Amino acid sequence: MLEDEFEWHRKQGVKPIINVSGTMTGLGASIAAPGVAKATAEAMANFVSIHQAQEKASEVIARLTGAEAGFLTASASAGITLSIAACITGLDPARVEELPINIGEKNEVIVQSGHLCGYGAPVAQAVALSGARVRSVGQSTLCMDHQITGAIGRTTAAALFVVSHHVVHYGQCPLKRFVTLCHKAEIPIIVDAASEHDLRGFLKAEADLVVYSGHKFLGGPTSGIVAGRRDLVRAAYLQNIGIGRGMKIGKESIFGTIAALEAWETRDHAAIRTKEAKALGSWTHALSNIPGVTTTRVADPTGNPIDRLQVDINSEEVGISAATVARLLGERDPAIIVRTHGLDLGYFQLDPCNLLPGQAERVATALREVLSSAETSAAKPGDTEIARNGSTRAYLDWGKS
């Protein structure tokens, strides 16, 4: 590694980070390729009709996804809200201006209970911002056909299907069946696929609108992508004269996301998988023969072509918990931020998708140093609770001094 690899962090006065957590918004999601950064910077230096820029984006989105049309907005979360609003108002600007205060008769969105997750904010809140309310279907671990069809009525505006590692992964109605049941009643399907590699499969499964993040696996600037049926895409875009105004996207992010989408077409995905596998191997080797530490290579739960290394910590043998190990790694310089969703179950994961050259080796060294010299004195009361509540705690702590 170059000695000045963290020069930018030092210059800005922020702590350097090695990200083995994944495409997390709280860490900046991903690192843009040089071409994406160039396209973003060039757009900032010029004026352009935003409608024309969005037309260009629509062409690229349609080519990559197979959609009839598409547009860009501030984030995937914004895309969910605008897509739901589109199903309520259609192309009626008067109705667009009335949201979210006067929503009308069609004001419910069907969501399986097991899909009502949080991704930094509750998915139900993304629905509510449109003025609609969630009609929760089934129980958290079981959603049956009759529960879906029974929930559909004259007030149903749309159905939302969430694809995420955060949702319950068993007992849920699969997308194709969900589509069949809802389309039989002429209910449009919106798929939240924010962090998914698959740009075509959800529309092939006959979803009406699909929402992606532009700044996660695609590696673009912060943005959301809405793709699908032309009439609904147009209606979602029209929301920019209403609730979408606060979710607008600038010229720089439009052209940066276009560049990211075009780069996705030519990216050597096989070479990336090979590099990621090498990192997983080095971490597995580094943690071998450490008493109380077990490693397992696990596939992404939503089917993305990425594996992660799960590190299970037997706290009685190691002397500290998985939460404490995660904290100690995060306190290093540079901070090593692991994937923390399973800390309360005694494990964390290492995600290789955002590594820069030489960082896999740094992580391997840090893991051995922390776990080989672990002492019970390193633990702090409530490490697991702090980690579990950490996202909100960070917001509450911000601006104190």
Over residues 353-383, the pLDDT tens digits come to: 999 999 999 999 999 999 987 665 666 667 7
Q: What pLDDT, on the 0 to 100 scale, is given for residue 401?
A: 75
pLDDT given at position 377 = 63
134 and 94 belong to one structural domain: yes
Task: Report whether pLDDT(2) > 50.
Answer: no
pLDDT at 254 over 50: yes
Q: What is the mean pLDDT of residues 127-146?
A: 97
1: pLDDT strictly greater than 50: no
- Tell me the CATH number at 215: 3.40.640.10
Domain boundary, last residue among 266, 294, 315: 266
Residue type at position 26: G
Residue 374 has a pLDDT of 63
Which tokens go with 257? 């996301």
CATH of residue 285: 3.90.1150.180
Closest CA to 151 of 168, 167, 134, 163: 134
User: What's the rounded Cα separation, in Å, for the pair 175 and 180?
Assistant: 9
Within-domain flag for 2: no
Are 21 and 72 contained in the same domain?
no
Mean pLDDT of 194-215: 96
Structural domain including 107 reads 34-266
Assigned domain for 327 exists: yes
Indicate the Cα dihedral angle 240, 213, 57, 222, nearest 10°: 80
Taking only the tens place, the pLDDT of each residue in 162-203 is: 999 999 999 999 999 999 999 999 999 999 999 999 999 999
Look at residue 38 and tell me if it is in a domain: yes
249 inside domain: yes
306 and 233 share a domain? Answer: no
252 in the same domain as 114: yes
Element (H, E) at 134: strand 133-137
